[in-house]
Structures are given as structure tokens and as C-alpha cells.
Chain A
Amino acid sequence: MYTEKVIAEFTNPQNVGEIADADGVGEVGSPACGDIMRIYLKIEGDRIADVRFRTFGCGAAIASSSMATRMILGMSLAEAWAVSNADVVEALGGLPPAKVHCSVLARDAIRAAINDCRTRRGLEPWEVRSSGCSRGAGCDSHPENG
């Protein structure tokens, strides 16, 4: 069902944890949906100097979180914002169709954390396209499920 890369990423996830003095925190999902992702960013200059995550969810959710955090480490906020869920899926060597929404959650959690950074700095948040499973949304709307 999962690629070797997904299994490897899931069984040995990177960047698990929290950042006490994070510059931005983003959380998406809900316990009822079965997925929650929370991403912490530490920014130096305009670069992501550290990133940590905590995820409640399936193997694909944990693998997506780990992969996405590895991808954005060292990026500028604009570069990290541009990372798409398809980029995460590709880096994982593919996800089953029913699990693609996990990569969307990872992208959304990153974007929520980036906007939290921006807001804290007094900047306008960048415009977010709803994924359908952000906090408060219903669980029955995983739009990318195919």
C-alpha cells in the first residue's frame, strides 16, 4: 500500500518535537478527522533555521509531516510557502489516492505556521486556499481524495 520511502520516513521520522520559542506555529486538522498536524518554525533572517512537528494521524500523515519539514528547513518563507502537496507526495515516492490529503495537511500546516510568523511580525498573512479539513471544517470533505 505504501512506498518504501513512506514506510522509512514513517518509521524514522525527522524533526519530531516542539520549539519553545518558535516564531510561528501552525495547526490543521481535528481529532475527529483522525489527523492533526502542528508545525513549529524558528526563523533567522528570512530563513527557516529550525522546524519541528507533532502529528496525530496515520502513517502517511506522519511521513508527510516529516518529509515536509525536512524539505522546508533552510528555505526562505516564500520558498517554503511555494512547496506544494504534490512536491511532498513526489518526495515520498507517491501516496495512495486516499492518503493524498495527508500531504495537503502538511502543506496547510506549513502555510499556517508561516502566516503565524507574518502576523507576529505585523505583516499581512498570505492568502490561504482552504483544504477542507482545517480546524472547524467537517471531516467529510477531504477534497483531494479522488
Chain B
Amino acid sequence: MNDQDQRPVYMDHAATTFMKPEVIAAMAPYFSQHFGNPSSLYRFARESRMGVDEARREVGAAVGASPEEIFFTAGGSEADNWAIKGVALANRKRGDHIVTSSIEHHAVLHTCEWLEKQGFSVTYLPVDEFGLLDPGDVRDAITDRTILVSVMAANNEIGTIQPVAELGRVAHDHGVLFHTDAVQAVGAVPIDVDRMGIDLLSLSGHKFYGPKGTGALYIRRGTRIENLIHGGGQERGRRAGTENVPGIVGLGRAIELATADIEAHNRRIAAMRDRLVRGILSAIPDARLNGHPTERLANNANFSFRYVEGESILLLLDAHGICASTGSACSSASLEPSHVLLAIGLPHEEAHGSLRLTLGDANTEEDVDYVLEVLPEVIGRLRQISPLTPAHARMPEAD
């Protein structure tokens, strides 16, 4: 491995994606040509309004909802905050209990923790070793005080896909609203809010080749929910603030592209991902794949490499032009390892040694080859340095 071999390989699509040229092209006229405020009366603003309306139809169609049930937000975190706080505050007279999982994104977990400070109670259900939540556990956790079940459709770290339709059924059997954070699932898992019994769904544009700072909350018609952002009458009086028109137009175009042929897209990505996983597990001893063997996002691979620490893996990969991510504490501001990896039962030291590679539309077989060439050497070098490495996993001393 020398520096001349370096090629940029982006395998962190769960963090964010590039924007597709079609999306940028769709947005472009709305920055300067159609800059009118959609709330304005004059004809000039009509183009802006039509752009937003069209995007609303596209987002609705992508999840099986009516356009009137789609509300644009400034991203996935706002949608999660709105869904959970909004339902909690609007249904306080009925109850004060929320059921969620222990592997949710922090946008859900920290919102629930905040609600606990406001007097609500929250049950954080455990998951199995693959990251799956048992719908039976949800059923057992629901009480006559429960007002909301919130479970992510797919996990951002280990890619595990939850049995969303079953969870929705369990919630509805008990007359409880069901929210799902589908930020990682949109474009990767076919979604139909009616068939899956979803009352509220969060999504985020930049996870499927759309713009950052854009998102939406689906709210089933008739759902009791308070507003989160107060102000003007935008979004039919539900979400104040002048619409991010170019962003919304881009979100609409991106979701249309991302959900056009999910199956074909997944087949292509999963084939590369599976070759990556097989290659890594066969080339590197004492490595494991985290997450579910089959019920996982097509683009997700998450490994633990014993005896080494994730941040140092990322730095060496970065030195070779490879962008990836880790659940190690050492890369987080909190110095706590990933709550998801701990929830699936990994000991701290294996959570520290985790590496997430998430593929996307621009990745090629050559990218997979390159990672398969670089990663075993990176792990080998770090194991050379580590005092934990046993003889069988250590390469012969170089000097």
C-alpha cells in the first residue's frame, strides 16, 4: 500500500449521500427564477407553490399517503421531535406513556428522555442479538396509559429492518398511535403507511440523494398532534416558517427517483455489499458481522474487529481515501460507545472495534476491490500495535 494507490471511496451513505444531478437540476430554477414566497398572492409566486405541491404529491406517493398528510420539515430530527412531542402533548389527557426501542436514533431517544423530564414515562425495549425488536414485547409493554409506540423502520448503524407492519398491528390492536423513524428505510424498504399501520413517519432528504436540511413528517388524517414550530400559517397551519422551496422540490425529486425501483437498486447494492462482507470475514481473523444476516438494509455492513479500536481504523482508512464510520466511543464526543452495539450485546471492547461501511449508488465493484485490498492491511497494522492481539491474529514482526 503506498500513497499512489489511494483512490477516494465513499462508503458512508448512511451518514449522508451526494445529491443526484437530476435533483440539483430540479432545484435550480427555484433559487433564482421561481424565488417567490409560496404564501404570496400574486401570480409570480404560483410557480413556487406548484413546486411545493408537486413535491408533496411525490412524497405522498412514495409512502402510500395522500399529499395532504405530508408536512415538510427541516429534516429527520425535526420530524422525529414533532411526531413524539406533538403526540405526547396532544394526548396527555389520555395517557403519559410511550413505548420505544433501545436502538433508536438519538433524535428519538433524546426526545423521549426530554419528555421523561416533563413527566411522561417511556419504556425502552431491548432488542435481540441481531437488533430485532419482538412485537410481543411491545404488546406486553403497552398499558392503558400508553399513547404512542415509536420504533424505527431500519437501524442506521447495523441496518436491521424491524417488522414494521407487525408493530403497527400491535399498536393499533391496543388503540395506540404508531410512529416510525424511516430515515434510513426510505428508498431501501418499500413503505406503505396503510398496509403497515403507520400513523406517523419521519423521513430525511439527504439520506436518499436529496438535499440536506429537508425532511417530512407523514401524519395520518385525524391524528391528534400538537404543532412543534409555531408562527405563520404554512403547511396548512401545522408547521410555521417560509417553505424551503428549492429543498422541498429536491426532496420530492429525490424520493421519486429513490422509490422508482427499490428492488433492482437493492439487488445491485446488496451484491456488492455481500462480496464485501464475505471478503472481509475471510481475510480478517477474529472479525464479526454485526446486525441481522438477512433482515438488513441492502447497503449496510457493520463489523467488529477484535483487539483494535474503531477511530484508528477510520484514520488509517482515511489515509487511503476511504470514508467510513464507527461506533467506537473514541470517535464520539460523549466517549460512550454506540448504544446500538451495546444493545445487541457486544462487550465494550468489541463496540470500540466496530466499523460501518454503507454503500451507495456511486460505488463500484472496483471500490469493493479497493476496500478489500486496504482494510485487511489496516487491521493488520493496528493489531501489530495492539497489546491485546494474540499470536494467531498478529502478522510476523516487520523489523
Contact = CB atoms under 8 A, between A and B. Distances in A.
B387 A59 contact: no
B315 A10 contact: yes
Contact of A145 (B331, B335, B337): B335
B397 A17 contact: yes
B77 to A, nearest CB: 23
B335 A58 contact: no
A15 to B, nearest CB: 10
A38 B307 CA distance: 14
A57 interface: yes
A37 B352 CA distance: 15
Contact of B307 (A11, A34, A37, A56): A56
A83 to B, nearest CB: 21
Interface string A98-139: 100000000000000000000000000000000000000001
B183 interface: no
Interface in A1-44: 2, 7, 10-11, 13, 16-17, 27, 31-38
Interface string B367-399: 000000000000000001111100000000101
Nearest to A99: B330
B352 A34 contact: yes
B330 A7 contact: no
B309 A57 contact: yes
B328 A34 contact: yes
Given A54-B385, A58-B309, A58-B328, A31 B349 contact: yes
Contacts of B333: 98
Given A55-B386, A56-B386, A58-B330, A34 B348 contact: yes
Task: Kindly name the residue among B328, B331, B352, B397 whose own CB sees the greatest number of chain A CB atoms within 10 A.
Answer: B352
15 contacts: A2-B315, A11-B315, A11-B316, A13-B385, A31-B348, A33-B348, A34-B348, A34-B352, A36-B387, A54-B385, A56-B307, A56-B386, A57-B309, A139-B348, A145-B335
Given A7-B315, A98-B333, 17 more contacts: A17-B399, A32-B347, A32-B348, A34-B330, A34-B348, A36-B388, A56-B307, A56-B309, A56-B385, A57-B309, A57-B330, A58-B328, A58-B331, A60-B330, A61-B309, A61-B330, A145-B335
Interface of A: 2, 7, 10-11, 13, 16-17, 27, 31-38, 54-62, 98, 139, 142, 145
- Minimum-distance CB pairs A-B, first 9: A58-B330, A54-B387, A31-B349, A58-B311, A32-B348, A56-B386, A59-B315, A34-B352, A38-B387
